[in-house]
Amino acid sequence: MMARREFPGRRAPASEPDWLTLGQAAKYLGVAQSTIRKWSDQGRVPAFYTPGGHRRYRRGDLDNFLSRSGPGGGVQQGPLVLIVDDDERVREYVRVNLEMEGYGVREAGSAEEGLAVLEEVSPDLILLDVMMPEVDGWEMLRRVQERHGIGAIPVVMFSGKVDEQNAAEATARGAQGFVGKPFDPQQLIEHATQLLPA
């Protein structure tokens, strides 16, 4: 990388370099590394490449991106959504799309992870997969309601199984919605945005 030229009055403190790695830039924006990679590929965030092929981000470009992103100007200014699903691809797809709409998103790969996240933060909405190994979505829903009260945190259940009974059961158990198969993650995102406008 070329030596950095210093401009009078524009010097960043030593602790805040002008150029950030992918990990640093993701932390700076408050998003996952996979998300900032996609934003770079889409041309939303300018990235520069080192001779070794590593991405570098200019702090000023990230600030510009923050100022024009999301409803309140920041990437995660919107409501916080917790996605609990053991399928990483589904989680990533839903997360990226919700983040682009201006939502803050936390992910969990199991009910236990989801309950651990709830110890740290109180999301505005939970998207919860019914079919998970060990502790399933129904049991997690019961524990969430036990801890926070029924309806205190809206929950939308989803499942890969087409089952009219599941939809009725979700409503009966206090969930705010149910999305079944053929499962379309876009339908889940639309459900979330209707229930919880960004």
- For 98, the domain range is 80-195
pTM of the model: 0.61
Query: What DSSP string runs through 15-76?
Result: TS-SEEEHHHHHHHHTS-HHHHHHHHHTTSS--EE-TTS-EEEEHHHHHHHHHTSSTTSSTT
Q: Check pLDDT > 60 for residue 12.
A: no
Do 37 and 103 share a structural domain?
Answer: no
Do 92 and 38 share a structural domain?
Answer: no
Say whether 128 sits in a helix, a strand or coil: strand
Q: Check pLDDT > 50 for residue 189.
A: yes
- CB-neighbour burial class of residue 8 (10 A; exposed 0-12, middle 13-18, buried 19+): exposed
- Closest by CA to 34, choosing from 108, 79, 77, 91, is 91
The tens digit of pLDDT for each residue in 22-63 reads 889 888 877 788 888 877 776 778 888 888 888 899 888 888
Do 100 and 189 share a structural domain?
Answer: yes
pLDDT value at position 6? Answer: 37
Distances (CA, A) of 144 to 26, 82, 116, 147: 30, 12, 11, 5
The tens digit of pLDDT for each residue in 108-165 reads 999 999 999 998 888 999 999 988 888 899 999 999 999 888 888 999 998 877 667 7
Total domain count, the chain: 2
CATH code: domain of residue 49 = 1.10.1660.10
Average pLDDT of the chain is 79
User: How far out from the chain centre does Cα 23 lie?
Assistant: 16
The tens digit of pLDDT for each residue in 99-109 reads 888 888 999 99
